[in-house]
Amino acid sequence: MAPPDVDLTVYPDECDSFGHLNQAAFLSLFERARWEMLARGPGMDFFTRAAASPAVRKAEIEYHAPAFPGDVLRFQTTLLHVGHTSFTLRQSARRVQGDALIATAEFIFVCIDRDGRPVAVPAGWEQFMNQRSPGGTLRRLTVNGVNLGVEIKGTGPAILFIHGYPLDHSIWQAQVAALEDWMRIAPDLRGMGQSDAPDLGYSMATYAEDLLALLDTLGLKEVVLCGLSMGGYIAFELLRRAQNRIRGLILMDTRAEADSPEGKRARDVAMAQAREGGAQAIADAMLPKMLSPRTLRENPALAEQVRKMMASMEVAGLLGALGAMRDRPDSTPLLKELSGIPTLVVVGAEDQVTTPDSAKIIADGIPGARLAIVSGAGHLTPLERAPEATALVVEFLRSLSPEAHSHGHETI
């Protein structure tokens, strides 16, 4: 079982004379939430059996908004780092009503024996904190008023993978599996995959706000972004809002230009198609454009995986994404402002949705960006040419160390 979220009610005796939840009471609420989380999972004897007690070495709390008696706060706990004898937990408390972020905290624990000597973190702790629930579902996190399914793996510097339309987090399966030194975060965007699909309220701004709220919940100040297609449009929106939080940028099979008038009309046609024929109709229409002729010919299992993924979408999410893409702004003026952000642009040589010409516009527009054109791939390079795409990502992430620089255009 994955670590559950814990709801706790604020009691009047935890509040000060101003009627707010008192700052000192937060510490015990965070502790109660951790205790509950453990009690509903392996229990405290998980640590006692290993003769290792987790002792708090450092606590840091940030207070974001007041809470009042009767408020129900939802506590989410994530593992940020595991060392040999220590680990770091990140906790957030959000008011369930209105989903307001109330406080976030980071705790460093050292495991000690009865004599107070440091001992190894119990085997299985990292796995318990990071595992999925038995049904194979993702971690459920409520952010910005919507419940998202999010794959979170590993610890270390963070990379946020943003999928395209009408897809889900699983397009990054090979990259998420490979980047062992990184904390990999691959959400299903609102309206797609296992995330909630509200009827209204979709825009590039909303998707970006969801992801910023997700980063806040996970306590991540800085990430590398890796966006595919619509995920790239959202990455541009994130850059407009929070460029200081982006440490590096990978743009795959995407474009900076807005939709042309003809493109906007095609969105309206696709919306009518989704309303009439559902996700199945969209999947049938899109499959031949998503994959290269070579992938369609040589990898029928992958074609079936992508078709099923597209056909499983909620119509509300499809309509929302189509409207959001139709109305998105032109991001080409932004490109020259991204000179401080190391950037890798990747495109399938046979991508018909966002062509290599569009990728060149991005790579030429962002000073210092590198372009890689991947032969044999269509619009889904990370799936169609997974080893090549993963190698490009790995090499780019290595180059983010301060002394390394790479530059230029290439075809692999």
Nearer to ligand MLT, 321 or 393 (CB): 321
Query: 315-326 vs 230-242: helix axis angle to the nearest 10?
Result: 60
Rg of the chain taking only CA atoms, in angstroms:
22
List Cα–Cα distances, 371 to 29, 43, 251, 349, 365, in angstroms: 49, 50, 10, 12, 11
Nearer to ligand MLT, 179 or 235 (CB): 235
Least gap, CB of 315 to ligand MLT (angstroms): 17
Nearer to ligand MLT, 214 or 353 (CB): 353
339-378: which residues touch ligand MLT (CB under 6 A)? Answer: 353
Least gap, CB of 229 to ligand MLT (angstroms): 3
Sheet with 6-9: list strands edge to edge. Answer: 6-9, 72-82, 86-95, 100-112, 53-63
Neighbouring C-beta atoms of residue 1, cutoff 10 Å? 11
Alpha-carbon span 202 to 317, nearest angstrom: 8
Please choose, from the candidates 112, 58, 113, the residue with its C-alpha nearest in 3D space to the C-alpha of residue 81. Answer: 58
240-269: which residues touch ligand MLT (CB under 6 A)? Answer: none
Nearer to ligand MLT, 230 or 319 (CB): 230
Could you tell me if 322 and 275 are in contact, meaning their C-beta atoms sit under 8 angstroms apart? no
Dig out the tokens for 83 from the structure.
Answer: 């060392």
Least gap, CB of 184 to ligand MLT (angstroms): 20
Alpha helices by DSSP H, listed for 144-192, are 173-178
Nearer to ligand MLT, 325 or 347 (CB): 325
Q: Does 381 bind ligand MLT (CB under 6 A)?
A: no
Residue nearest to ligand MLT (CB): 164
Q: Does 107 bind ligand MLT (CB under 6 A)?
A: no
Nearer to ligand MLT, 89 or 322 (CB): 322
Q: Does 162 bind ligand MLT (CB under 6 A)?
A: no
Least gap, CB of 273 to ligand MLT (angstroms): 13
Q: Does 325 bind ligand MLT (CB under 6 A)?
A: yes
List Cα–Cα distances, 171 to 79, 176, 303, 360, in angstroms: 24, 9, 12, 23
Q: Does 310 bind ligand MLT (CB under 6 A)?
A: no
For the chain, the distance separating the N- and C-terminal CA atoms, rounded to the nearest angstrom, is 42
Least gap, CB of 329 to ligand MLT (angstroms): 14
Neighbouring C-beta atoms of residue 340, cutoff 10 Å? 10
Q: Does 292 bind ligand MLT (CB under 6 A)?
A: no
Q: Does 207 bind ligand MLT (CB under 6 A)?
A: no
Q: Does 202 bind ligand MLT (CB under 6 A)?
A: no
Number of residues that bind ligand MLT (CB under 6 A): 7
Q: Does 164 bind ligand MLT (CB under 6 A)?
A: yes
One residue of 104, 229, 331, 390 binding ligand MLT per CB under 6 A? 229
Report how many helices (DSSP H) and strands (DSSP E) the chain contains, helices first. Answer: 14, 14
Could you tell me if 69 and 11 are in contact, meaning their C-beta atoms sit under 8 angstroms apart? yes
Least gap, CB of 8 to ligand MLT (angstroms): 39
Q: Does 165 bind ligand MLT (CB under 6 A)?
A: yes
Q: Dihedral of CA 401/404/408/410: which sign?
A: negative
What residues make contact with ligand MLT under the rule CB under 6 A? 164-165, 229-230, 325, 353, 379
